[in-house]
Amino acid sequence: MAGRIEGPDAPRIIRVHPADNVAIVVDDLGLPAGTGVAAGITLAERVPQGHKVALTPLAKGDAVRRYDTVIGTAAEAIPAGGYVSEARLVMPEAPALDDLPLATRPSPLGPPIEDTTFEGYRNRDGSVGTRNLLAITTTVQCVSGVVEHAVDRIRRELLPRFPNVDGVVGLDHIYGCGVAIDAPDAPIPIRTLHNISRNPNFGGETMVVSLGCEKLQSERLFGPLLPMGGDGGIGLVTLQDPANVGFEAMIASILRTAERHLERLDRRRRTSCPASALVVGMQCGGSDAFSGITANPALGHASDLLVRAGATVMFSENTEVRDGIAQLTARAATPDIARRIIAELDWYDRYLARGSVDRSANTTPGNKTGGLSNIVEKAMGSIVKSGSAPIAGVVAPGERARGPGLLYAATPASDFVCGTLQMAAGMNLHVFTTGRGTPYGLAAVPVIKVATRSDPARRWHDLIDVDAGIIATGAATIEEVGRQMLALMLEVASGKPTCAEKLRLWNQLALFNPAPIT
């Protein structure tokens, strides 16, 4: 529901669901006390943009509903038109995991969408790249400085000779040694690194730089190495190899190996591929109260269209679905998939408890300034990016996704850790929604950034790809922006650079390592 609409400049509030007893203020500067916002409701005090107004009088202890979900209880009496601030809202307990609906509400999909294509790079393993990149995997952080130097030299000295290669990426990380490599949770970072190296955007041409004495030996990362020279071979450079006499010899060895991979990558060309070859990772960062009514539902609509076109689409962020777990387990395609979702979130509850926190450790000062009072409200806005498709599978952290369909990739909500794990899952396109704004980008996978409000989209005109704020002002519908996002996804998958790519902005990989450091 929109509040009193008397023209484009009228004060505007948005209630998400008819059963909700709060709405949020849309106006950029908030609204002052005395503003009439709906029939019979006048603001009792100033309410900032994105923050909540009570639509009915609330007694202490009354349930506060947004998204038709109890996001907390009133800490004190609040009149109709009162400001439901963070301090006036008591957060509920997380829902129990032992009595959840299992695959009771798998939503029917619309009819299949055919003839949706993009121009991609077909790989021998059946996956499709949206970029044609040389990746250099590292087995241990010790080699990072050398690899960074080599990447710079490759970019300047070799890439100009290979115009069909989009770039070179050093897969830098802080794992590999000084870690408890046989700990029960160590397979998570190890399989993450293994699967990142197989990302479709690297064309099966991954090369590896190792030190030699580290715990994560290259054989442990990849199994017996294929010989160099053959198609799909993994080129290995070991810095401690006696043949490398001095730094320049190391660099020359890396450049020689890179050149052989670049020759093969350079012969590749984009060809028409069905949208079913897309593996889209979705996440949000710097969320605000608009995330759940503009950018995320529009992305959810785009996600439904992608699923109908046969694509694989992942949503993630454990702490941002934990309070909505009953929605997910009900939407699971089978009871077994529902049980896998529960198992992942149960493991994550215990992971957080080991650090003496719970899912409420997620929210940031920016979330709260943006109107999100607690993790329950944040989760309800985050989860809508999953659209309405049945959940067809679960991806454990570091595993490769097996689509098609909508998958729950169980990752932390940290932008960098989530992006890294979705890369390992095989994502070839990333869509990132943001309320407060972030310059986030990845070197290996194009990231389309979507703003929840028009104000940051205007200010960051060269950093934000899509303005979903036009939904809040009524200038466009969720479906219109969702279709616009899908069209942009196909263009970007076909090679159109994103804002972050144009500016060459990218964040480092962040491996999820729940195991001890030694």
What's the DSSP call for residue 196?
A: H
Shortest distance (Å) from residue 415 CB to Ca ion? 4
Assess contact for 489 and 302: CB atoms under 8 A.
yes
Nearest-angstrom CA–CA distance, 428 and 66 = 34
| Residues listed for the chain | 518
Shortest distance (Å) from residue 344 CB to Ca ion? 16
* Nearest residue (CB) to Ca ion, 21 versus 420: 420
Shortest distance (Å) from residue 317 CB to Ca ion? 5
* Nearest residue (CB) to Ca ion, 12 versus 322: 322
* Nearest residue (CB) to Ca ion, 132 versus 283: 283
What's the DSSP call for residue 290?
A: T
HEC per residue, 111-125: CCCCCCEEEEEECCC
What are the tokens at 292? 């759940």
By the 10 Å C-beta count (0-12 exposed, 13-18 middle, 19+ buried), 245 is classed as exposed
* Nearest residue (CB) to Ca ion, 86 versus 415: 415
Name the helix (H) or strand (E) containing 265: helix 247-266
Shortest distance (Å) from residue 404 CB to Ca ion? 24
Shortest distance (Å) from residue 295 CB to Ca ion? 13
* Nearest residue (CB) to Ca ion, 190 versus 509: 509
- What angle in degrees, to the nearest 10, is found between the helix axes of 478-493 and 295-308? 60
Instruction: Tell me the torsion sign for CA atoms 462, 200, 302, 13.
Output: negative
Phi/psi zone of residue 102: left (φ > 0), alpha (ψ -120 to 50 degrees), beta?
A: beta
Shortest distance (Å) from residue 283 CB to Ca ion? 5
* Nearest residue (CB) to Ca ion, 176 versus 435: 435
By the 10 Å C-beta count (0-12 exposed, 13-18 middle, 19+ buried), 201 is classed as buried
What are the tokens at 200? 């479709």
Shortest distance (Å) from residue 68 CB to Ca ion? 24
* Nearest residue (CB) to Ca ion, 198 versus 430: 430
What are the tokens at 371? 């109107």
What's the DSSP call for residue 453?
A: S
* Nearest residue (CB) to Ca ion, 412 versus 446: 412
Shortest distance (Å) from residue 178 CB to Ca ion? 27
Residues 6+ apart with CB under 8 A from 71: 64, 65, 89, 92, 373, 374, 376, 377, 380
Which residues of 125-179 form beta strands (DSSP E)? 128-129, 133-138, 167-171
* Nearest residue (CB) to Ca ion, 199 versus 316: 316
Shortest distance (Å) from residue 363 CB to Ca ion? 12
* Nearest residue (CB) to Ca ion, 254 versus 485: 485
Shortest distance (Å) from residue 11 CB to Ca ion? 32
Shortest distance (Å) from residue 413 CB to Ca ion? 4
Assess contact for 11 and 27: CB atoms under 8 A.
yes
Q: Which amino acid is at 496?
A: K
* Nearest residue (CB) to Ca ion, 265 versus 289: 289
Q: What is the largest CA-CA distance in the chain?
A: 83
Output b/e per residue, 117-139; b: 16+ Cβ within 10 A: bbbbbbbeeebbbbbbbbbbbbb
Contacting positions for Ca ion (CB under 5 A) = 283, 285, 413, 415
